[in-house]
Amino acid sequence: TSYSNPIKTTTLIFFTEEWKDLRANVDDTEAAVLDDLVESSDIVLQLVEEEKAMLNNDESKIIIGGFSQGCMVTLSTILRQKG
C-alpha cells in the first residue's frame, strides 16, 4: 500500500529529573539559583533549535514539559524563547 501523506513526527521533550539539587546548596543565593535555571533553559533552547532543524523548522511539532523542577525549567524556557 502506498500513502500519499508521510508520517509526521513530533518531538517530546519532558523533564523527569531535577535540574539542581536545591537541598545540597542551601547557601545558594536566589541569584545563583536563577543563574542555574537560565543555564538549564539555555540548554533546552539549544535542544529545541536542533530539533527544529531536523523538522524543517516546524516548531509546532515540538512539545516540552515537566513537573516540579522540570516544570520550572519548561516555563523558563517558554518565557525566554524568541519568536
Reported as a single tens digit per residue, the pLDDT across 4-62 is 444 445 666 666 556 555 555 555 677 777 888 888 889 889 988 998 998 899 888 88
**56 vs 8, 10, 42, 66, CA distance in Å?**
12, 12, 21, 25
Query: Could you identify the residue written with the cell 539559583?
Result: 33
Torsion 22-66-59-5 (CA) sign: positive
Is 44:64 a contact under the CB 8 Å cutoff?
yes
pTM of the model: 0.70
